[in-house]
Structures are given as structure tokens and as C-alpha cells.
Amino acid sequence: MEIEGRDFINTSPLKTVRFGGNVVATLAKFKQGDTSDYELLKHQLADPDIKDAQIINWLQEFRNCVTQLSKDHEQLIYVALRLPWLGRSPAVVEEYLAFLSNLVSAQTVYLRACLKMVVSNFTPKRVKICEGGVDISDSDDDDENLPRNFDQCHQALQLISRYVPSTSRFLMPILIENFPFVQKSSRTLECYVHNLLRVAVYIPSLRRDVLELIISRMLKLDVSAPRGEIEEVEENAVQQEMKGEEEGLFDMDEDVCSVKSSPEGTNVMVHPVAERLDTLMVVLLAFIKDMCHVNGCLDVERTKDLYKDLVCVFDKLILPTHASCHVQYALFYLCSFRLALAEAFLEHLWKLLQSLSHPAVLRQSAAGYMGSFLARANFLPVATVRACLDLLVPWLHLYIDSQDSGSRAYCDITLHGPFYNACQAVFYTLLFRHRNILEGDMKKGLAYLQGLNLERIVMCQLNPLKVCLPAVTNMFAAITRKYQLVFCYTIIERNNRHVLPVVRSSVGGDCVSTNTNPLDSFFPFDPYVLKRSSKLIEPLYQVWEEPADTEVDTVTTKRVRQCSDADEDDFLRGETPETKGVMGPSFPIITEEKYQSEPFGTIYNHHSIKNLLQGAKYYVHKVYNAWLELFIL
């Protein structure tokens, strides 16, 4: 049979042709038990080749009978919600949005379904790519209409929230449920996180929950990609590329040479997890900047509100997470906008540190954040650093006063963990900031440092030098020795002699282990290694500068290099000391070089009995070394 030259049987029907009655009649028949037209209607709505005119026609009919679309017609509504409206003509989009607004107003039972439909479009659609006869699912990143589709999704969400005030209560669980798995592509994660942050703009009540959701997922990426691992992968990639370029010097094939590109010249991370995290950090930092600035000027009230939300997320997620490397820089970046924010953050950490109602592990973490922030934030003035030291150091002295006369006045991390972390925070801060304190007026700077009475802290019975990181301890000893603030080397040597190696009997032999990081501490604001997002962090960051003016003897220099992965940027770059096996016996020997580096005359000039005793100990140590050498021979 042919109609106007068209084969009716062997070709699909024209899209202007409709079968069955209108929606009102179909619903009436369904109510009476006749489901033939009802099923036919669902089939036509699910047609992948449906035309714009048909969509508009169906939606108009649905709007006319929206009060009849009760829970009994749930399947029909689900089919209607899956209509391909995104990327269609403006008339289709307008009609679909009108249908959504009428549906959620008249039938709130479909609110969840409408929200799920919108949120499901927050990521690029999955397309099937056939490679070698195998169907591979991948995201459609080349869709030019993607930004427009996202805009239409947010237009729909804003419309729904306008008609249903309780939308936010139902929306958040759906946003959590639809968050892509962290191993998805960077593009998929970027699109979803960007759309979540857009939701937080026009539904402010969800902003804290949205930030918590995003940061929780980013922390999973962060802790699974340690800084040292990222640096190793990136360095290996550069070396392989350089090796490939050397091999390709004699390759005359221009096509092959043109394919090669240098990782050093690109912003793409070779480490896959670091690449995803870098992408999300760019989105998050851009959101923070845009939320705090209006027409290029800082909006103080909006900045305060965002700061409060981020601090709450920090307390709940970031602070309890051990060894995260990059996510905490979101708060670092926000605090750089205004000094009052940085001071408020430091005050918050200070309250956490001295609060006895918080677990010791959180207080220790707060001390680590405080010391690292003071050392690394170059936007902090010296006055702020001194104000924080004036809080930390007297607290340490009070703690020593409370313990010296008690039964717990001995070195024990489980008993005095917050104290030791606070000591390390003070030492670490002085490593980076002592020059700022001394510059301008050396006499006043030295008087201030002497007024801290660091000698009492170092020589107390709790013995903080024994548990702090060796790299921090040795550099602190070198700096304080130069300015004659406190003499640490005698205590360091005594601690080294008292460290008893632990024999691992399970492996046998003379293998011993020594824990070089008993506090299990880390510095949250160690160097930032993500490429693209680092452009916003680098101008705010204080890199480590080797103290050339400090007369560090050769033995001390060797110790610092052995205890850390020394680098041009940072003497603590990537330092997370672990328990290492040391073969054979270990004898503490004070070398002649070490002895001569601390002449007795220098100590004698201090005119104190304690320092005279310290100087005399060197002669005792020299006799001890001679006896020890005879014993070994």
C-alpha cells in the first residue's frame, strides 16, 4: 500500500501522525480499565525520534489535565519526564518548564522525580564508543550544547524551588546520591561539582551541605595521592620525556616528532588522581573568589558567610583527616582575602588547641595547622605572628608549671601530645619567621625572642626535642645557637643515646627500627604540587629559604639532609618519616668535628653556670668517645 509515493508498511510513520485519543480521553479510558491507548501513549512519548512539535503538543495536553495525574499515573509521568527537552528549540524548553511548574504545584508527590530528572543531567551524557568490537562507555565531552543544557537545568531547578519552598530538603539527598564515583573522568567530576556550586548560589541554605559533600569527595582523592607519590610520578614522566627526546634526535619522521609533547610545558598532571583533584581545586577556588568579590571588590558580608561555612566543614572533615595535602588550601586561599579572616582562623585553631573538651588528636592537629599556617602564609604580618607566639609560648610555660611537680613529669606522647605538637608549632614558626622578627630592629627582636624563655621549654622534664621531627629539631638548634637563645645540642645528643632500638624478632638478625616521627605529625601547608590550581596559591605561599646567615656546622647539615628529603624549595618537602630498618649496632659517637664546632670559650661567654656545665660536658664526651673507640677496637 502506498500513499503519495510513500511505502506505508516498510517506513516509519510521519511524526505529525498521532495514534489514539488525547490525554484526557486516554486517562478516562484507563480509569475504566481500558489500557490500550494508555500504553500507546507511553510508547509514543518514549520514541527517540520524537519531533519538537509533538513534544509541545503532548506537554500542552498534560498541562490541561495536570490535576488528574495522581499517583496512579506514576509510570506515565516518569516517561514524560524523560522526554528529550534539553538542547531543543526554545519553544520546547519553555513548554517543558511550564509543565514542570504545573506538575510540582498540583502534584507534589512527583517532586522527587522532577528533581532526580534535573540532577541526572548535571554530567555529560554517556555515549557508547566501539573499539575493537567492544562497546566502551565514555562521556560526551565534545557536546557544544553542554553549557546551554546546564543553564536550562538550573533554570528548571530555580523554577521548582520557587513553587515548592521545601525543595532544598528533598534536593540534598538526591545530590549526594548522584555524585559521580571519584574514579570517573576529570571532566565528569568537574561538571558535577561546578553544577553543585551553582545550586549553592541560588539556594543559599544548601551551601554548607554542598561544600561538605564536595570536600568529602575531594578528601578521598587527596589522601589517596600522597605528595611524595605525585612528585615521583611527575618527575618520572619528565625524565621519560627527556629520554624520548634524546632518542628522537636522529628520528627523521616529522609526524612522530610532532606527536611528542613535554609534560613540563603542560598543566596536565600525569598522576591520574592528582589530575582529578587539581581540576576540582580549580573549580572550588574559582567559586570562593567569585562568591567573595562583586565587580572586582571584596564583599565583606558575603566573605564572612562563606568563611563560617568553610570553617564548619573544616572542623567536621578536614581537621580530623590525617595527611591531607591540598584540600585545606581552600581555607588558606580564603583567609588571604582579608587579614581579619586569617586572624579569626588562627583564633579558632587556638581555641581548639587549649580546649580540654576536644579529643587530644584534634587538639594536636589544630596545633599542626596553627604552626604551618603561621610559617607558610606570607600575607600574615609580623605582628600577627608575634601575637600568636605570645599565646602559644605562655601556654607551654603554664603547662610545664602544672606538670613539673606532678607524677607525670616525663616524656610520654600519650599523656602530653598537645603539648609536644604546640612545641613543634613554635619551633617550626620560628624557623620561617625569625628573620621577620629580627629585621628592622635587631636589638628589640632579640629581646623579644629572649623573653620567650625557650630555654625552659627545651630543658624541661617533658623533653620536647625528643619527640619533635629531627629536621625541625636540628634546624631550630642551629638557629637558636647562632643567636645564643638556647643551646640544644647537648640535649639532642643525650636523647640520641637514650633511644633504644627495637629488635624485630620476626625477621631475625640484627635488624632494628627507630621511629623518627613518634608524634605522627605532618605540616598541612607543605608545598602545593598541583599544577593548575597552584597558580592561585603560589603568590600567597612562603617557601623555605635556606638560612645562609646561620652558622650551621657540617654535622647539623648532614642531620637535616638525612632526616628530610632536602630540596631547593623546602627542607621538609614531602617529609612523612616512617619506621626504617637499620642494620647492625648503633653507637652514639661525638666526632672531633662536632666537638670543635662548639668551643668551650663560646659557651663560657654566656656567664651562666648551666652553660658552663654544658661546656664541660664536651670534655667528658671526648673522654667517652676515646674509651668507646678503644672498646670497639
Gap between the Cα atoms of 70 and 110, Å rounded: 9
Q: What percentage of the chain has pLDDT greater than the value 90?
A: 61
Specify whether 558 is located in the same domain as 619.
Answer: no
Of 209, 227, 245, which residue sits at a domain end?
Answer: 227
Q: Does a structural domain hold residue 332?
A: no
Domain annotation covers residue 260: no
How far is residue 468's CA from residue 517's CA, in Å, rounded to a whole number? 7
Q: How far is CA 325 from the centre of its chain?
A: 6
Look at residue 610 in the predicted model and tell me its pLDDT.
45
Model confidence pLDDT, tens digit, residues 522-570:
899 999 999 999 999 999 999 998 766 544 554 444 454 444 443 445 6
Predicted confidence at residue 174, as pLDDT, reads 97
Q: Is position 372 within any domain?
A: no
CA distances from 587 to 250, 429, 607, 615, 633 (A): 55, 33, 33, 22, 13
Judged by average pLDDT, the poorest of 257-271, 289-303, 453-467 is: 257-271
* Cβ-based neighbour number of residue 549 at 10 Å: 9
- List the end-to-end C-alpha distance of the chain, in Å, as a whole number: 112
- Between 616 and 439, the higher pLDDT residue: 439
Question: Are both 583 and 617 inside the same structural domain?
Answer: no
Please tell me the predicted confidence (pLDDT) of residue 116.
96
Comparing 34-48, 96-110, 365-379, 492-506, which segment has the lowest mean pLDDT? 492-506
Instruction: Report pLDDT digits (tens) over 56-85.
Output: 999 999 999 999 999 999 999 999 999 999
Q: Is 249 among the domain residues?
A: no
515 and 483 in a common domain: yes
pTM over 0.75: yes
Number of folded domains that form the chain: 3
pLDDT attached to residue 564: 44
- Verify that 580 and 607 share a domain, yes or no: no
Range of the domain at 108: 11-126+143-227
Res 9: pLDDT: 44
Rg (the chain; Cα; Å): 34
Instruction: Flag whether pLDDT at 314 surpasses 60.
Output: yes
Could you tell me what percent of the chain has a pLDDT over 70? 74
Whether 402 and 492 map to the same domain: the answer is: yes
Mean pLDDT for 314-336 is: 96
* DSSP type of residue 113: H
Flag whether 334 is in a domain.
Answer: no
Beta strands 293-294; 126-131: pairing state: unpaired
457 & 547 share domain: yes
**Residue that is last in its domain, among 197, 227, 257:** 227
Of 159, 192, 227, which residue is a domain's last?
227
pLDDT at 173: 97
Is the per-residue pLDDT at 177 higher than 90?
yes
What's the mean pLDDT when you consider all of the chain?
81
Average pLDDT, stretch 215-219?
97
Asked whether residue 78 falls in the same domain as residue 193, the answer is yes
Distance in angstroms (rounded) separating the CA atoms of residues 522 and 325: 9
Same domain, 159 and 45: yes
Say whether pLDDT at 378 is over 90: yes
Q: Tell me, yes or no, whether 510 and 612 share the same domain.
A: no
Q: What's the residue count for the chain?
A: 633
Q: Is the pLDDT of residue 91 over 60?
A: yes
pLDDT tens for 112-161 read 999 999 999 999 987 655 555 555 555 555 567 899 999 999 999 999 99
Establish if 244 belongs to a structural domain. Answer: no
Asked whether residue 493 carries a pLDDT value surpassing 80, the answer given is yes
**For residue 622, what is its C-alpha cell?**
671526648
Number of C-beta neighbours around residue 223 at 10 A:
15
Residue 521: band (very low, low, confident or very high) from pLDDT cuts 50, 70, 90:
confident
CB 278 within 8 A of CB 272: no
Q: Is residue 296 part of a domain?
A: no
Inside any domain, residue 385: no
Q: Residues 403, 539: one domain?
A: yes
Say whether both 523 and 418 belong to one domain. yes
In this structure, the answer to whether residues 96 and 55 fall within a common structural domain is: yes
Confidence grade of residue 495 (pLDDT, cut at 50, 70, 90):
confident
The residue-averaged pLDDT of 239-266 equals 56
